[in-house]
Structure 1
């Protein structure tokens, strides 16, 4: 029996990258999956690939009416909702002085308002069932700062805080809320020019595991938090970053790469 046998999961931003790998893994572990995204062609193709246990719904996560439609279609097709993975996100590169208000509002609308609306919409359904698991995909940049990513970093810190508050509000109703903090991941967002692993990994010499992450590795963390294996885990921050948050190497000191 799979670890998500009989469960129904909604995965936003599920048409490609980490979301797509999460949808495929969840389905392989027994879940019915509702894949949501604005990328309709890719989302429909993925749902067809997975089969009858998958449903695609076109979905702008910053739109509250779209969230209501997702909830209605999920329940109509599968009867319940057990898992929500708030994965949809965008990144925007700009220094603070170059950042425009519309760009900031777009990032916050998708990365913060999206998960909040998801919890607001799906949380009551899980409360009524007396059980559920919500996972918010934050970032390593929700645990630290990064130059050139002020909007993205602010949004991912907000997701971290939202997770804590939601864990407090929904915990008494049997609903667990956690956040995952990926480091660099080989997706369209993390590798927009499609560079090969050997070249990419040269940028990760300060990371203990010395390489970029794979989307299926983030999906595996989401699987754990969605499953009953994590039945006593809520309000937690799970870093899946190759050890990046552990710190930076000092090349002149013992223990750095290339030293004994």
Structure 2
């Protein structure tokens, strides 16, 4: 990475990949707005970052709150990068057991939130003619069997949205890309294994499942996202970050019971 965004916004920034992104932006001399519903974790992160970060409580399915988070970042200066990172695993289980309400709730959190974040990022970036957007997709964006049904559908759609928006915004000097993590040591995987604060368990399990014996970490994914934010001639891409384990081996299928 040649330089850091001077002002960035990270949704879902209080923990996991989002927190790693915020930490790296500040470490490179930038300012970051951390947008999340988890106020306790978000404020603790901001305190650790010692003045380089601000926290905004944000429900990423609410357009007014997303717009306000983007405007908070814009008030700090020109927004160079927006990371649409918020997400959950959502509803799991067999297709015939999945309710429409649960499906919609999951896709709102995983897809509608990205649409809203991208929409308002473009709103503030287009007049300046410069800016990078990076959306957190998933290996489930490129292959089935690596996540639950609603999650996989939404993450495929995130990849499609990135490719479509890239065509629109390229003439205006903007770029949008996706980073697609596989199994990652983060609060999300820790929560699936029982304790959102226990990163040792997902580290151990993912390391054992990895062909290299080394698991992908939140910092690894943040490195890739920051590369995409800085890569001036990369637009509309989806960069898989999984050590070759998930997409190549296609070993998922545990979500259907």
Query: Corresponding residue for 1:151?
Result: 150
SS in 1 for 2:183: coil
Task: List, as ranges, runs of 4+ consecutive aligned residues in structure 1 with deviation greater than 2 Å.
Answer: 191-194, 196-202, 207-212, 244-249
> What TM-score do you get using the length of structure 2 for normalisation?
0.89
Structure 2 residue aligned with 1:218: 221
Cα distance in 1 for partners of 2:64, 2:21 equals: 25
2:255 — aligned with what? none
Distance 1:64 1:246, change over 3 A: closer
Pick closer, same or farther for the CA change 1:246–1:199 going to 2, 3 Å: closer
Q: Give the structure 2 partner of residue 239 of structure 1.
A: 240
2:86 to 85, 88, 109: 88
Structure 1 residues 223 and 100: CA distance shift in structure 2, 3 A: same
Larger-Rg structure: 1
**CA offset digits 1:93-129 (Å, max 9, x no partner):** 2221111111111111111011111111110211111
Kindly indicate whether the alpha-carbon contact (under 8 Å) linking 2:130 and 2:173 is maintained by their aligned counterparts in 1.
Answer: yes
Match of 1:197 among 203, 206, 214: 203
Contact 1:95 1:147 in 2 (8 A): no
Equivalent residue pairs, number: 242
- Give distance in 2, aligned partners of 1:47 and 1:221: 22
8 Å Cα contact 1:95/1:148 also seen in 2: no
Cα distance in 2 for partners of 1:123, 1:148 equals 29
Higher RCO (CA < 8 A, seq sep 6+):
2
What is the rounded CA distance, in whole Å, between the counterparts of 1:137 and 1:26 in structure 2? 16
What is the alpha-carbon root mean square deviation over aligned residues? 1.9
Q: Distance in 1 between matches of 2:44 and 2:147?
A: 35
Q: Secondary structure at the match of 2:188?
A: coil
Counterparts in 2 of 1:42-191, with a 5 A limit? 42-76=41-75, 78-92=76-90, 93-146=92-145, 149-191=148-190
> How far apart, in 1, do the equivalents of 2:130 and 2:106 lie?
31
Query: Displacement, 1:211?
Result: 3.8
Gaps of 5+ in 2: 251-257
- Normalised to the residue count of structure 1, the TM-score between the two structures is 0.88
Unaligned segments of structure 1, at least 5 residues? 250-260
